[in-house]
Amino acid sequence: MKQKKTTKKNRWDDHYTLKARKEKYPARSVYKLEEIQNKYHVIKKGHRVLDLGCAPGSWLLYTADIVGSKGNVVGIDKKPITINIPPHVNIISDNIMSLGEKNAAAVAGPFHVVLSDMAPSTTGNKTVDEARSLSLCEAALEIAKKQLIPGGAFICKIFQGGDIKLFTDAVRVCFSTVKIFKPKSSRKASKEIFIIGFRKKQEENICQVTANGLQ
Three-state SS letters, the chain: CCCCCCCCCCCCCCHHHHHHHHCCCCCCCHHHHHHHHHHHCCCCCCCEEEEECCCCCHHHHHHHHHHCCCCEEEEEECCCCCCCCCCCEEEEECCHHHCCHHHHHHCCCCEEEEEECCCCCCCCCHHHHHHHHHHHHHHHHHHHHHHEEEEEEEEEEEECCCCHHHHHHHHHHHEEEEEEECCCCCCCCCCEEEEEEEEECCCCCCCCCCCCCCC
Return per-residue pLDDT of the chain as tens, 215 residues: 444 444 445 555 778 889 999 989 889 899 999 999 999 999 999 999 999 999 999 999 999 999 999 999 999 999 989 999 999 999 998 887 777 777 777 777 799 999 999 987 777 788 888 888 899 999 999 999 999 999 999 999 998 876 889 999 999 999 999 999 999 987 777 788 999 999 999 865 455 444 444 54
Residue 7 lies in a domain: no
Residue 192 lies in a domain: yes
What CATH number corresponds to the domain at position 145? Answer: 3.40.50.150
Residue 156 lies in a domain: yes
CA distances from 148 to 30, 41, 160, 183, 198 (A): 22, 17, 25, 24, 11
- Quote the radius of gyration of the chain (alpha carbons, Å): 18
The pLDDT assigned to 12 comes to 59
Residue 35 lies in a domain: no
The pLDDT assigned to 21 comes to 92
- The residues assigned a catalytic role are 157
Number of domains in the chain: 1
110: preceding bond cis by omega (within 30 degrees): yes
CA 17-190-127 angle, to 5 degrees, is: 145
The pLDDT assigned to 10 comes to 58
Q: CA-CA distance, 150 to 211, in Å (whole number)?
A: 7
Residue 209 lies in a domain: no
pTM: 0.86
The pLDDT assigned to 107 comes to 78
Residue 75 lies in a domain: yes
The pLDDT assigned to 124 comes to 79
Q: CA-CA distance, 89 to 134, in Å (whole number)?
A: 28
- For CA atoms 23, 58, 73, 207, the dihedral sign is positive
Residue 37 lies in a domain: no
Q: What is the span of the domain harbouring residue 165?
A: 44-119+129-200
Q: CA-CA distance, 90 to 73, in Å (whole number)?
A: 6
Residue 68 lies in a domain: yes
Q: CA-CA distance, 206 to 203, in Å (whole number)?
A: 6
The pLDDT assigned to 111 comes to 97
